[in-house]
Structure 1
Amino acid sequence: MSNEESKTIVVIGAGPGIGLAVGRRWGRSGYRVALVARRAERLAGFVEQLAAEGITSSAHATDVTDLAALRATLTEIEQQHGAIHALYYGPPATSGTMCAPRDITVDKLAPMLGLLNGAVAAVEHVLPGMLERRDGALLFCMPMSAIEPVLFSANYAMACAAIRNYVQSLYVDIASQGVYAGAVPIAGLIIEGDSERAKSLDATARRPGDRAWDEYRAFHEDLAAHITSRQIADTFWDLATTRDRYEEILGNPAICARLREQALIGTPAS
């Protein structure tokens, strides 16, 4: 058994796209994979998929905004798999909870701050052990709106921007201690989930002329902004192994800047 085969990655926000792809990428390199998300039945399916590929994984149904439950889950994972050597954090916000800047209220911001608090709580739990071993990786996935805001997800972007700032600070603070922190902002569409995104927008009665739909359409129509989950997972692996930068943006960042300029002059996205 190699050294890699004795390690564990925790994937917080394990969905069928990026989270599963990250687990698969680390699993192919011998890591045990602990999958964390809300839906137990979906996680069970992921465990079966990974097992069919020869990857050892476990399912842990947890709401990451419930900090006590998250800490208990991380302890459970350590008891089951041993030390946590890598942490991926990328729980999404659902479209129904996101809103434009003019619609932000304390109540609408609260669930997004829950995602921020979950990131801090997860790092708080795993980082001491990583520093003691002088080995570990903290990986965060977020939308490009953490850097260049788009209107339909302004409250989510506020939390993501804070997480990104946290990652930048961690990268500088802990690099000399053998622990890596890095982020992949996504400036585009994860094409495997494109149909689900469209359904979500339909379900909330968004139509052409609505800013959220126009912004989605701009991403949908720009092929340079189409990304696969595997690309993202491979990018995280490269960041964690080379450790020569804290961030790599995937997709087409120019879209977000263009949307911002169009919003300022009041023209529809195109």
Structure 2
Amino acid sequence: MSSVAIVGAGPGLGAAVARRFGREGFGVALLARDGDRLGALAGELAREGVRARGFAVDVRDPVALAETLARAAAELGTIEVLQYSPVPQRDFMRPVLETTHADLVGPVEFSVYGPVAAVQQVLPGMRELGRGTILLVNGGTAVIPHTDRAGTSIAFAAESAYGHLLHDRLAEEGVYVAQLVIPGAIVAGHARKDPAVLADTLWGMHRDRHGFRHYADDLDG
């Protein structure tokens, strides 16, 4: 049996995606820094009939992230779907003229080294299955850079480029790579940005396997 790994799993989008894919029979690996919160979420999902495990890891440590994904696959089954959707830290979002080269280390570790390490770890399993899906979830600065959010604007653009390269290269191998851009905040009850609605969107992307970039809502100019 295969699994979905949600990197950056929390009580909003991560929990909703876990439930959506869990209903389809996937094992669910929940990855984030807070092990206690992950354990509570995994327990809640288990009571709903979803086979889930929590794995505490910092995405800014690429070696630990790869090792954790390997452990998740061993416990829950080959990772068929990887969702990379951790929420950026506030200190990544500084005005561009106040952003030094040192200020970009964190965003690049978070949005470039993390996804690359994760993809490199799960790709052999997807190739063995003969199928796979990699879903990158980003904010609106991935598409429209913001002068007051230089770190995410720069790092999300790099993550987007990496994802697009993977999309083009891996399509012939049956591995689908796509990006979901969520402008602004995720809002409970919103017609397009409610967590459950976004989870359905991500499930549809995995199922339909069409195109690279998708939008959860209209972008602000």
- Give the TM-score range, shorter chain: over 0.9
Structure 2: tracts of 5 or more residues without a match: none
For residues 225-264 of structure 1, the aligned pairs below 5 Å read 227-253=193-219, 255=220, 257=221
Supply the AA of the counterpart residue of 1:86.
Answer: V
Which residue of 156, 160, 166 corresponds with 1:164?
Answer: 160
Cα distance, 1:40 vs structure 2: 0.7
The aligned counterpart of 1:47 is: 42
2:174 is aligned with 1:178: yes
| 1:64 to partner: Cα distance | 0.9
3-state SS in 1 of match to 2:60: coil
Aligned partner of 1:239: which letter? M
Residues of 2 paired with 1:181 and 1:171: CA distance?
5
C-alpha contact 2:92 2:150 (8 A) present in aligned 1? no
Q: Which residue of 2 aligns with 1:57?
A: 52
CA distance in 1, matches of 2:19, 2:146: 31
CA distance in 1, matches of 2:133, 2:39: 25
Query: Does 2:142 match 1:146?
Result: yes
Q: Distance in 2 between matches of 1:52 and 1:81?
A: 17
Instruction: Report the CA distance shift for 1:31/1:57 in structure 2 as closer, same or farther (over 3 A).
Output: same
Provide the rounded CA distance (Å) in 2 between the counterparts of 1:97 and 1:16.
22
Q: Which runs of 5+ in 1 are unaligned?
A: 1-5, 194-222, 258-270
- Aligned-pair CA distance for 1:134: 1.6
TM-score, scaled to structure 1: 0.78
Any residues of structure 2 matched to 1:1-270 within 5 Å, and which? 6-115=1-110, 116-192=112-188, 227-253=193-219, 255=220, 257=221
* CA deviation after TM superposition for structure 1 residue 72, in Å: 1.3
* Cα pair 1:188 1:250 within 8 Å, conserved: no
- Structure 1 segments of 4 or more deviating over 2 A? none
The CA deviation string for residues 125-180 of structure 1, in whole angstroms up to 9 with x for no partner, is 11122123221100110001111112332211211111111111111111121111
**Structure 1: how far apart are the matches of 2:30 and 2:198?**
17
Which is higher, the Rg of structure 1 or of structure 2?
Answer: 1
Instruction: Give the secondary-structure state (helix, strand or coil) at the position aligned to 2:149.
Output: helix
Q: What is the identity, as a one-letter code, of the residue corresponding to 2:18?
A: G
Partner deviation per Cα, 1:68-105 (whole Å, 9 max, x = no partner): 21111112112212211110101111223321111111
Q: Distance in 1 between matches of 2:20 and 2:77?
A: 20
Task: Report deviation, 1:252.
Answer: 2.1
User: Residue 9 of structure 2 contacts residue 32 of structure 2 at CA under 8 Å; is this kept in 1?
Assistant: yes
Structure with greater helix share of residues: 1
CA contact (8 A) 1:188 1:227 kept: no
Number of residue pairs matched? 220
Name which structure has the greater RCO, CA cutoff 8 Å, separation 6+: 2
Structure 1 letter corresponding to 2:214: E
User: How far 1:43 sits from its partner (Å)?
Assistant: 0.5
TM-score (norm 2): 0.94
Map of 1:264 onto structure 2: none
**In structure 1, what is the Cα distance between the partners aligned to 2:126 and 2:29?**
17
